[in-house]
Structure 1
Amino acid sequence: MAEEKILRFVLGDQLSRGISSLDGAEVGRDVIFMAEVMAEATSVKHHKKKIAFLFSAMRHFADDLREEGFTVDYLRLDAERNPGDFGSALAEAVERHGVNRVVMTEPSEVRVLEAAESWREELAVNLDILSDRRFLASHEDFVSWATTDSGAQPKSLRMEYFYREMRRRTGYLMKDGEPEGGQWNYDADNRKSLPDSIRPPSRPRFEPDSMTREVMRLVAERFDAHFGDIEPFDYPVTRKDAEAYLDWFVVEALPGFGDWQDAMKQGEPLLFHSHLSTLINCGLLDPRECCEKAEKAYRDGRAPLNAVEGFIRQIIGWREFIRGVYWLKMPDYADSNVLDATRPLPGFFWTGKTEMNCLAQAISETRANAYAHHIQRLMIIGNFCLIAGIDPKEVQEWFLIVYSDAYDWVEMPNVVGMALFADGGFVASKPYAASGSYINKMSDYCGSCRFEVKQKSGEKACPFNYLYWNFLSENEDVLRKNQRMGLVMGSLRKMKQNRLDEVRSDSERFFANSEMQGWGRTESA
C-alpha cells in the first residue's frame, strides 16, 4: 500500500509553527501549500500596509519551513499560473502534487470557512478541516458558557464573567483560587490622562529586508488605489522579530500600560500600547506566550498588577469573548442595526481631512500606520459613528479595510456590539457615547482644534457636544429601556425645549456640511 501523501494548506493568518494543520507533517512526504490570491487581497480594499505585511510574513514563514526541510509550494500573487482564488489554487496544487489528502486548520472567518466546505465536493481527495488551537476557548467551550442548560441563548452576554472563567481555567494572575490582589478587574486604575512630563518609550524599528521590499513594490504596483500609506514600513514580519517586539514591550512599555492605556496624545499613536495584535492575529505570536511573559514580569516585580491584568484581560477576556460572539451569532449578526442608523460614512474617513482634530488625528494615524489604539477606535472613531448615526455596514467595512489586525471575526463584533450598540446590548451593557469633555479629559487633541470643547451650541461648539444629545434624542425610545442610561435619559427629559431645539438645529447644520458628505461603501482611495 502506497504511503499517504498529504497537502497541508496554510492560510495567511495561520503563520504558527504549532498550527494544527502542521501536526504530524513529515519532511520528504508532505507538501505545505501557501498562496497569495487576488480574491482575498481585494475582498475589501485592504490597507496597503496590511497586504504588504501579510505577504511578507507569509513568505518569511515559508522560508522558515523550507529551512526545516519541508517541501513548500508557495504561490505568489504575480505568478503567471495564479488563478486568483483559494479554491482554484488549491485544486491545481492537489493535481500538481498527486496527493491523497488535504489538511487545513479552520479559517477564522465564516466567509472563508463556507468556501472551504465547498472545496470538499470539488476536490478529488479528502479534505480535513481541523480546529484552531491558538484560541484558548474552543467554539464548544464558548457555546457551553453562553447558553443555558436548556440550550437557549440569553439576551445579552458580559465579557467580565467570561473573563473570570478564563482566568480560573488558565490560572493567569490567580493565587489559591482567587484573583491576584483580591479583585478580578483593575480597569478603574487604567484611565489616567497622560501628564506632559511622561514620555513614551522609544520603540525598536524593523527595517524591511530585500524580501519585504520586493513585496512592497508589488503592493504599490497592484494595489495603488487601496487605502493607506505603505511607507514607512517597520513591522516585524518574522517569528524572531515578533518575539523580540514582545520582549521589548514587556520590559519597556508594559509597566506604563496600565495607568495610561486609555490616554491619547497628538503625534504619539502608540504610547505604551503593545502594538502586538497584528502579530497575534496572523499567528506570529501565540496569545499564551504573551500572557505568560506579562505575568512573569508581574511575578518578578517588573510590572504593576493593573498593567499586567489589563493586558491579559485584552487577550484572554476581550479577544476570546469577541471571537466567541462572532461564531455564536453569525451570519445574521452582520446585519444588526437596532438603532436604524442610515447616514453614509463621511468622505473624510478616507482622507483624514476634517476640522475635528480628534478625528483628524485618529484617522490620519490609521492611514499612515494601519493602526490606532483601542480608545481611538472606540471613543473617537466609534463614538463619532455612533452619535452621528452612521450605517453599521459602512462602519464595519471601513474598520475591516483600514486596520492591519482586522479580520471579520474580531472587527465585526467590536463594531456592531461595542462601538455602535447595533446589536441592542448583546455585547455592551450601554452605548459608548460621549461628548467632547471625555475626549478633552483623555487627550490633548482639543487644544489644537478649531472647535471649542466647552461650548455647547453654535458654529464654534465641539460637534461631539450637540451630536451626543441629538443621538440620545433620536434614539430615546430604545435607550430609555436601558437601566444604565437612566440618569442621562432623565437629564434629556428635563432639557428645556429651546435647548433641545438648539441641539437639533446644530446637528442638522453639521449633517448638511461638506465634511459629512458620504462617498459610499466602495470608496477607499
Structure 2
Amino acid sequence: MTATLRHLVLVLGDQLNSDASAFDGFDPTQDAVWMAEVQEESTHVWSSKPRTVMFLAAMRHFALALRRLGRPLHYRWLDDPDNQGSLAGELRAAIARLQPQRLIMTAPGDWRVLQALRAVAAEADLPLELRDDRHFFSTVREFAAHAQSRGSLRLEYFYRELRQKHGVLMEPDGRRPLGGQWNFDAENREAFGAAGPGFLPARSQFPPDALTREVIALVQRQLPDHPGQLDSFAWPVTREQALQALGEFLSERLPLFGRYQDAMWPEEPWLYHSHLAAALNLKLLNPREVVAAAEAEYRAGRAPLACVEGFIRQILGWREYVRGVYWTQMPGYLEHNSLQAKQDLPAWYWTGETEMVCLSAALRQTLDHGYAHHIQRLMVTGLFSLLYGVAPAQIHAWYLAVYVDAVEWVELPNTLGMSQFIDGGLLASKPYIASGKYIQRMSSGSYCRRCPYDPAERLGERACPFTTLYWDFLIRHEALLAANPRMVMQVRNATRLSAEERTAIQQQAAALRQPKPRAGTP
C-alpha cells in the first residue's frame, strides 16, 4: 500500500457481502477497509446477547474473508482498550490515524448511523461517497416514484410491479402471474389441528466455532446484564453456513411453509419457517439468490406454487416495501403516534414472567433464541402491546433489541406501522387486532388449555387479557375505526354492547394497565 491512502471503505455490521457496491474499483495497493465493533450498537437499545453475538461473530468471520481476498483491513475489536465506544468516535480516530483522501460506503440501512457518519465526514472535511445498495431488488428512488404515482401505499401493487420487472413467478409473456393469480393466501395459513404438528424437520444449526465462542465469552463479560441466553446459539454467521441453511430450508421446509406459516405450537419455535432473515439482513445471503432458488423448487415440482409465492412475497414484496417506507418517511416516522399510545412496556416483556401462556412462551422463546416467527411477533407480542397501548418508542426499542434479525430499516416500519398501527394507516390498511380466540384458533387451543384465562371471556377473573383489551380497544378507538371500511364488522359488534358492559370492560382493562414495578429493565 502506498503512503497515501486513497479510499477508506466503511463496512458496517449489516453489510457483510464482499460484492457490495462499496468495493467497486477497490485497489488494495491504495485503498483499505474499516470496520469497528462498538459498545453503542448494543446499548442505544438494550440489545439482547443473541443479537449482539450474531452481529459480532458474523463481522469477525467476514473480516477473515476480507483478508483472504487480500483487502487491507483496519478492524477495531470491542474490548480493545483504545475503543472509542461509538461508530462516530471510531471513525474519527481512524481518519486521524490513516488520513484517507475519501470515504466510501454502501448506503447504510439505519438513519441514525448515516447521520453520525456524515457528521464525522463533514467535521473532517472529507467527501463521503454513498453508493446504492445492490442487495435489494429496488432503490429507494424507485419506491418513492411508485408511492408518488399511487397516492397511497399498498404492498400488493408494489409487489406486482417488482414481480413483472424481475420476471419472478411470471408466465412467459411477462405480464401474467403463474397460476393466474398474484396472491395465494387463501390456500395458506392453516393451524396444525388438535394433534399438533407431528414430525418436524430439524432447525439448521451451526455449533459455534472457536471464533464465535470467543465472541460469546466477550459478550458475557462485556454485557453481563443484557437480556437473553446463549446456550442454544447456533445461527449461521458465515456465507457458507447461510447457503447451507438456505438449501436445508428449500428441501425440508418450503413445501409446507405456506400451509403452516401462521400456525403456533408450544415448545416448537422453528416449525416450517426459513430462519433466514438474519442472514439476509446482514447480507450473508442475497435476496435474488433466495428468490431464484425458491422459484426453482416450484418449477422442478418440489414445492407447491402457493407455498413458494407466499415465501417470495415476504422477500420480494414485504421486505422491499418496508425498506421504501422507512427511507421515504425518516426521520419523522419515529414521531408517529396516531393512537396516542403512552403506557410503559410491561417489565415482563424482558423476562417472560406472565401467567398468559401464549405470551410467556413467545417471550421466553425470544429471549432464549433471539427468534420468534412472524405471527408470534404480530399476533402475540405485538397484539398485546397494541391493545395495551404501549408507547411507540418503547415497543420499537424492544423489538430492535431482542431479535437476531433486527435492523432498524425493517424493524421500525414493521413494529410501528404493521404491528402497532400508529402511523395513521400509512403502511397497513387496518390495525391487526383480535381477541384471544385468534390465538386459540391458530394454536389449536394448545396454549389456552394450559392457561388460567379463557379466550371466550371478556369480563371476570378468568377473562383473557387479550379479549378484554380487544373490546376496550374497539371502544376507545371507535370513531377512528368506524371510518375504516375493513373494520366495520368489528366496530358494529362493539356498538351492540350495553352501556353497563362497555363500562365494565373499560374498568377491567384499566386494572390490567395498572403500573407494575419495572425491575429488570435497563
Contact 1:345 1:518 in 2 (8 A): no
Contact 2:352 2:361 in 1 (8 A): yes
The within-5 A match list for 1:71-470 is 71-148=72-149, 154=151, 156-175=152-171, 176=173, 177-195=175-193, 196=196, 198-443=198-443, 444-470=446-472
Residues 319-355 of structure 1 deviation map (CA, whole Å, 9 limit, x = unaligned)? 1111111111111111111111111111111110101
CA RMSD of aligned residues (A): 1.7
Q: Distance in 2 between matches of 1:106 and 1:380?
A: 34
Contact 1:466 1:507 in 2 (8 A): yes
- Which amino acid in 1 is paired with 2:119? S
* Structure-2 change in CA distance of 1:375 and 1:42 (3 Å): same
Pairwise CA distance, 1:123: 2.4
Contact 2:261 2:273 in 1 (8 A): yes
1:35 corresponding residue in structure 2: 36
**Is the partner of 1:73 in helix, strand or coil?**
strand
Contact 1:225 1:524 in 2 (8 A): no
1:488 corresponding residue in structure 2: 490
The answer to whether the aligner puts 1:67 opposite 2:65 as a matched pair is no
- Which amino acid in 2 is paired with 1:186? F
Pairwise CA distance, 1:26: 2.4
Contact 2:5 2:32 in 1 (8 A): no
* Structure-2 change in CA distance of 1:355 and 1:121 (3 Å): same
- Give the length in aligned residue pairs: 515
Q: Distance in 2 between matches of 1:455 and 1:490?
A: 19
Pairwise CA distance, 1:498: 3.0
Pairwise CA distance, 1:127: 2.3
The answer to whether the aligner puts 1:477 opposite 2:479 as a matched pair is yes
Q: Distance in 2 between matches of 1:236 and 1:295?
A: 23
Q: Distance in 1 between matches of 2:495 and 2:114?
A: 48
Q: Distance in 2 between matches of 1:96 and 1:500?
A: 67
Q: Distance in 2 between matches of 1:271 and 1:71?
A: 42
Pairwise CA distance, 1:252: 0.5
Q: Distance in 2 between matches of 1:432 and 1:345?
A: 19
- Which amino acid in 2 is paired with 1:312? I
Contact 1:227 1:524 in 2 (8 A): no
Pairwise CA distance, 1:301: 0.6
TM (norm. structure 2) is 0.95
**Is the partner of 1:371 in helix, strand or coil?**
coil
**Is the partner of 1:204 in helix, strand or coil?**
coil
* Structure-2 change in CA distance of 1:188 and 1:518 (3 Å): farther
Contact 1:47 1:401 in 2 (8 A): yes
The answer to whether the aligner puts 1:497 opposite 2:499 as a matched pair is yes
Tell me, which stretches of 5 or more residues in structure 1 are unaligned?
A: none
Residues 166-210 of structure 1 deviation map (CA, whole Å, 9 limit, x = unaligned)? 111111111122111111011122210013253221123211111
- Which amino acid in 2 is paired with 1:248? E
Contact 1:226 1:524 in 2 (8 A): no
**Is the partner of 1:178 in helix, strand or coil?**
coil
* Structure-2 change in CA distance of 1:524 and 1:299 (3 Å): farther
Q: Distance in 1 between matches of 2:82 and 2:508?
A: 57
Q: Distance in 2 between matches of 1:503 and 1:124?
A: 61
- Which amino acid in 2 is paired with 1:61? F
* Structure-2 change in CA distance of 1:507 and 1:214 (3 Å): same
| Misfit runs of 4+, over 6 Å | 1-4
Structure 1 window deviating more from structure 2 (501-510 vs 70-79): it is 501-510
Q: Distance in 2 between matches of 1:484 and 1:69?
A: 57
- Which amino acid in 2 is paired with 1:456? R
